[in-house]
């Protein structure tokens, strides 16, 4: 997709009517303090180096300002490589933006720098977020992170390579997945199952397998439990049934980064891997006939699937609570949420926008992702320790797949590091 936004932006009144609600919204109306300028720092989602993110925010803020003459919005777009660091530098210098659309919120919430969601949003808007995203946006039981864009992961497979290998169905258990990978290898596929556990995004690939194996990174009371017996068993299966038999391709999983695995899939060299909507679009543009199903569990349906989200938040520093609230109520109208999701091949973070996208024939290829998101599990982004734990996973998890490596020892080492980081929260 990657096109500039051309759909009309709707105002707060129209958005509320679309939701069938007539509540008095907390953020709208005159500010009572003259003109206010909000400083927004936002991430650039245009992977092709274009201007679609800039155009999106320009159109949205122009329409917002027309309906809220007392509020101006100054937009600063930064690349994903820089945006989190630049916001951190602004905050450290005592010059926090009013609004930041970035990758993490927990540290700022822990420092008391953010407005809570119920201080900013009208009740209809706050209650419209998908439940897993609301839960992931909470720090110590209070929501500070507002989910701006979402995605989930599915098992992708190359239909042409499946047909050439004589595979007529899709895997419904881990054993069937391994059997299909063997058939793909026998037919000459370079990467029967691409398993990217390299340092780029190993924490995501790891979580997908842990969830499909029955647990995840945390236990029932939200404490790290990375070396649980279920997690050890899941990774021992990966090592013994996929890696050791040579079913993961010529690059060791600990050295294979996601971007390289995805590039190989678009070249038609990968039989199966875990992918997201943007990869689907990229592969189809290169002529790959993409199939997609949910990653199976060990004995059948997986016990959980992974979701991800990016966040938008309001900083307290300048005292612009009402103005930020008005802006957020506008940002999360169905039309604006859908425009951004459609532009970037992402999933809407709200119930009503998700329902609208699911009904849209233009986006029929996203329905499997939409179905998976409401019951997905996100990484523990509400923990201030998560950034450090995520880096530890990226650096160390690949060792579990090395010849002579110990899954139990590797997960125990990571869990020990996580416990130390958690104790320092």
Tens of pLDDT, residue by residue over 41-54, are 999 988 666 788 99
Band (34; pLDDT cuts 50, 70, 90)? low
Per the CB < 8 A criterion, the answer to whether 133 and 100 are in contact is no
The answer on pLDDT for 106 being more than 60 is yes
For range 234-257, the mean pLDDT? 97
Q: Are residues 174 and 53 in the same domain?
A: no
Spatial separation of the C-alpha atoms in residues 269 and 343, rounded to whole Å: 28
How large is the average pLDDT for residues 232-248? 97
270 and 181, same domain (yes or no): yes
With respect to residue 4, please indicate whether it lies within any of the assigned structural domains. no
CA distance 297 to 171: 10
What's residue 48's pLDDT?
A: 65
Two structure tokens written together for 221: 């009371």
Tell me, yes or no, whether 345 and 243 share the same domain: no
Q: Is the pTM of this model over 0.95?
A: no
Separation of alpha carbons 396 and 400, rounded Å = 8
Residues 41 and 175 in one domain: no
**Span of 16-20, 138-142, 317-321 with lowest mean pLDDT:** 16-20
Residue 108 and residue 69 share a domain: yes
pLDDT (0 to 100) of residue 67: 96
For 246, left (φ over 0), alpha (ψ -120 to 50), or beta?
A: left
Residue 197: predicted pLDDT: 97
pLDDT band at 18 (very low <50, low <70, confident <90, very high): very low
Q: Is the predicted pLDDT of residue 62 greater than 70, yes or no?
A: yes
Query: How many angstroms separate the Cα of 29 from the Cα of each of 24, 25, 260?
Result: 10, 9, 50
What CATH number does residue 139 fall under?
3.40.190.10
Residues 24-43 have a mean pLDDT of 65
Give yes or no: residues 171 and 281 share one domain: yes
Domain encompassing residue 398:
154-305+385-423
pLDDT at 400 over 60: yes
Distance between CA atoms of 292 and 100, rounded to whole angstroms?
34
Give alpha helix (H) positions in 145-242: 159-164, 174-186, 202-212, 229-237
How many residues belong to the chain? 425
Let me know whether 121 and 201 are in one domain.
no
* Structural domains counted in the chain: 2
Is 281 inside any structural domain? Answer: yes
Q: Are residues 115 and 242 in the same domain?
A: no
Tell me whether residue 6 is in a domain: no
Give the tens place of pLDDT for each residue, 277-289: 889 988 999 999 9
Residue 345: what pLDDT?
84
What is the token pair recorded at 298?
A: 């060990």
User: For residue range 178-214, what is the model confidence (pLDDT) as tens digits?
Assistant: 999 999 999 999 999 999 999 998 999 999 999 999 8
Residue 107: what pLDDT?
Answer: 96
Q: What is the mean pLDDT of the chain?
A: 90
Phi, psi of 192 (to 5 degrees): -55, -50
In a domain, 45, yes or no: yes
**Measured at the alpha carbon of residue 196, what is the angle toward residues 171 and 161, in degrees to the nearest 5?**
45
In this structure, the answer to whether residues 173 and 62 fall within a common structural domain is no
Please check whether residues 225 and 261 belong to one and the same domain. yes
Quick one: pLDDT at residue 192? 98
265 and 121 inside one domain: no
273 plus 195 within the same structural domain: yes
Q: What is the pLDDT of residue 81?
A: 82
Res. 16: pLDDT tops 90: no
Q: According to the model, what pLDDT value does residue 47 have?
A: 65
% of the chain exceeding 90 in pLDDT = 82
């Amino acid at each position: 997709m990657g096109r500039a936004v051309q759909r009309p932006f709707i105002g707060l009144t129209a958005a509320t009517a679309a939701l069938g609600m007539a509540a008095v919204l907390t953020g709208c109306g005159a500010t009572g303090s003259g003109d206010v300028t909000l400083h927004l720092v936002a991430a650039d989602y245009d992977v092709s180096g274009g201007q679609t993110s800039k155009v999106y925010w320009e159109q949205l803020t122009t329409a917002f300002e027309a309906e809220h003459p007392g509020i101006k919005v100054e937009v600063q777009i930064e690349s994903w490589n820089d945006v989190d660091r630049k916001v951190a530098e602004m905050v450290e210098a005592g010059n926090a933006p009013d609004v930041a659309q970035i990758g993490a919120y927990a540290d700022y919430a822990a420092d008391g720098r953010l407005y809570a969601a119920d201080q900013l949003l009208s009740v209809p808007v706050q209650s419209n977020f998908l439940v897993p995203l609301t839960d992931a946006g909470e720090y110590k039981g209070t929501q500070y992170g507002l989910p701006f864009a979402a995605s989930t992961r599915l098992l992708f497979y190359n239909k042409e390579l499946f047909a050439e290998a004589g595979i007529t169905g899709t895997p419904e258990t881990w054993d069937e997945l391994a059997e299909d990978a063997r058939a793909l290898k026998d037919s000459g596929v370079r990467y029967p199952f691409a398993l990217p556990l390299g340092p780029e995004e190993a924490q995501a690939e790891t979580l997908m397998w842990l969830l499909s194996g029955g647990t995840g990174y945390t236990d029932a009371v939200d404490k790290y439990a990375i070396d649980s017996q279920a997690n050890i068993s899941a990774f021992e299966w990966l090592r013994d049934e996929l890696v050791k038999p040579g079913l993961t391709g010529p690059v060791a999983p600990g050295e294979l980064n996601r971007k390289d695995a995805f590039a190989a899939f678009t070249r038609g060299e990968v039989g199966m891997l875990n992918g997201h909507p943007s990869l689907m679009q990229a592969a189809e543009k290169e002529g790959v006939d993409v199939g997609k199903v949910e990653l199976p569990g060990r004995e059948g349906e997986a016990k959980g699937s992974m979701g991800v989200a990016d966040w938008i938040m309001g900083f307290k520093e300048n005292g612009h609570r009402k103005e930020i609230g008005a802006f957020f109520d506008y940002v999360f109208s169905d039309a604006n949420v859908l425009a951004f999701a459609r532009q970037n091949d992402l999933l809407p973070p709200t119930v009503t926008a998700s329902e609208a996208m699911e009904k849209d024939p233009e986006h029929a290829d996203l329905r499997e992702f939409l179905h998976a998101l409401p019951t997905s599990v996100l990484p523990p982004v509400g923990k201030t320790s998560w950034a450090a734990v995520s880096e530890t996973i990226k650096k160390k998890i690949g060792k579990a797949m090395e010849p002579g490596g110990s899954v139990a020892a590797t997960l125990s080492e990571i869990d020990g590091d996580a416990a130390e980081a958690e104790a320092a929260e």
